Amino acid sequence: MTENFSSIDSAQTTDTGTTERQVRRFRRDRDDAMIAGLCSGAAKTLGVDATIIRVLLVAATLLGFGMGIVIYLVCWLIVPQE
């Protein structure tokens, strides 16, 4: 009972017949940025709308005693710009 999940995988076959994997990297997106572009970069990496990530960050800040802001600032320093 073997199933083929190749349509789900992000691998692409080139003209030479070799398979290359497309690597998604987390970068700050300056095109859709409000402050530093972290939420839009995370949304692009995850394939969701940036508004969802922003709402989750605000919820983490309010419910997590400010940890959302700390996480955002640390990522701002670490994550490279696109």
The pLDDT score that the predictor gives to residue 6 is 41
Burial of 37 (0-12, 13-18, 19+ CB in 10 A): buried
pLDDT class for 4, splitting at 50, 70, 90?
Answer: very low
DSSP string, 55-70: HHHHHHHHHTTTHHHH
Compute the average pLDDT of residues 56-81. Answer: 92
Burial 38-75 (b: 16+ CB within 10 A, else e): bbbbbbbeeeeebeebbeebeebbeeeeeebeeebeeb
Summarize pLDDT for 11-59 with one digit per residue, the tens: 555 566 666 777 778 888 888 888 998 999 999 999 999 999 999 999 9
- pTM, two decimal places: 0.66
